[in-house]
Structure 1
Amino acid sequence: MEYTKLGRSGLQVSRLCLGTMNFGVSTEEKEAFAIMDAALDAGITFFDTANIYGWRENAGLTEEIIGRWFAQGENRRERTVLATKVYGDMHNNVDGPNHQPGLSSYKIRRHLEDSLRRLQTDHIELYQMHHVDRSVGWDELWNSFSHLQMQGKIGYVGASNFAGWDLAVAQGEAKARGLLGLVSEQHKYNLLTRLPELEVLPSAQAHGIGVIPWSPLDGGSLSGNIRRGDAGSRSGDQRWEKHWEQLEQYGKLCDELGETEDLVSLAWLLHQPAVTAPIIGVRTLEQFERSLRAVEIKLDESALKRIDEIFPGPGGEAPSAYAW
């Protein structure tokens, strides 16, 4: 496994991040335990979750599964760089009118305490805002997060689904307070979703923020299953119809490279300078074990150029993409 620093922090994380969104939903607890054990054995130390995983009335279930895995001992917690999130509705009547998605000092404190209890730990390495809440000022947000950092309950603060402008504002407000600010931005980014290259990635790089791509296979579109017919007929999904020709060309290129579409998609992300670690949200141990090879795949300039030709980006970085 390869490692890199998370943004401008001093924290070293693995180049692949284990996503746990399926744990307790489509992945049973026993299989989830096996996946997490295999991850540590393979050198993947970076685990990502969220308080809402498990979904609706089962929100928090995924964190509970991870907590029970930590409780098995053998330094599982100590060997893991743990990331979770706050923002969503936990469907808890105790939250009263504050149950709605959003951020506030009240909600951040309460939901962090609940996450710590479910995860059976006393601290989180990376605490992430699951979405921007522009109705709440940075005075409130940075005061809340810095207080939790001083208490030792969180190490670093990250963001998710922020625009490039939001990242810049967050860092400016942090700098004015003498704070480190954000160290990560978790964003949907893949070969079929390259719009973040226009502003989010340049902003992240300029402000020392590591990008953690979620949905690196675009919900399975880049897995190769569609071309092979493993995921149903071509006509079963209009999204796949739209990209069918691209996916056909991409499949042929991967055949020439001697690699599968899913692994090349992950490897391509690892070649992007702004990317820290794509999230591999596997459902089975077999899927996890397959994903490990992505770190070993090195794409030369010719392969990267052909990929760009098949999946053109948005046209460059802001503002040069649409101004001069």
Structure 2
Amino acid sequence: MTIEIELVKEVDHLCDYTFNFHWHNENLDPDSVIPYQKGTELTYRDLVNELKSSGEVHIIGNAGKNFAYSMGADLKHFGGSGEAEKAGRIFITGNVGPETGMGMVSGTLYVKGNIEYPLGNIVELVSDAEDFRKFRSITDILCNGLGEDELIGNEFSEEQKTLVLKDGIARGTVAARCNCDAKVVIEGDSWNGTGLLAEKATVIVNGNAGMNTGSHLNGGTVVVHGDVGEFAGAYMKDGKLIFLNAKGFIGAGMEGGSIYSKSKAKTSPPAAKSRMKGEESKLIRELMDAGRVESMLYNKYEPDKEKEKYVEVHMRDGSIVMRKID
């Protein structure tokens, strides 16, 4: 099937699987009619349901923020499995805003217009649709391969299941929800949310990483040969996060996993410093190209059960403070 919609003004949250439930302190009714339509009365849910049924959505007009957000994710928030599911195709004749495809795990985007950076969890391919640029999810390629597609500016080894991102484009949520044994190497800096909810993938950043690096990490490994931004390792469930230095607090609300930092890091509850083991020093040597003595100087952080009873307080300046519950 196909849904067509024409817009006379830019609209946010188009084809947004999250319906804005997680990332912003706003309310968006998924069954509300999308504004600025010409000749139709489609809702936000109509577009998502079409993609969930592997259909096509054709958009004429401009998409703003949260375009194709978490596309292809069967979200637990709505009673789903939290895993990837099949998704259809979006054709948009118009411009798309920054962070397109954040958290996207399946489906295909075709764009005829300008694309603002940073991108989300997507890479560009040689297009099979005239005048449109084609994009697929990094997670989809890692787990299901390229098929007949050909990357532009990057490399993928089917045999080694390794994707090398070397086009210099800033991306967020790289390898989001990846549940297969695969590797991503980012030659340069990554943007926010690297490794979000990844279960098995290894992501190596040969540069710095942005905010929320390793956020909600669920078994995967994220290695940063540089600095990480605020809230690294927040709400980690399992896995390993390794970096040289953190610019802000780490480990807020983490439930499991381990964080390793060459420099001492400031922690948010329940994260606390713990003892390094011999096999962990070996892992640091392998992943960080560190010498034996250098690897032993890394600091390890894990959740401290005594510090779990804290509440998250959002401050007016946008920061988050963890306060203990009496």
Q: Give TM-score, length-normalised by structure 2.
A: 0.29
**Structure number having the greater helix percentage:** 1
Normalised by the length of structure 1, the TM-score is 0.29
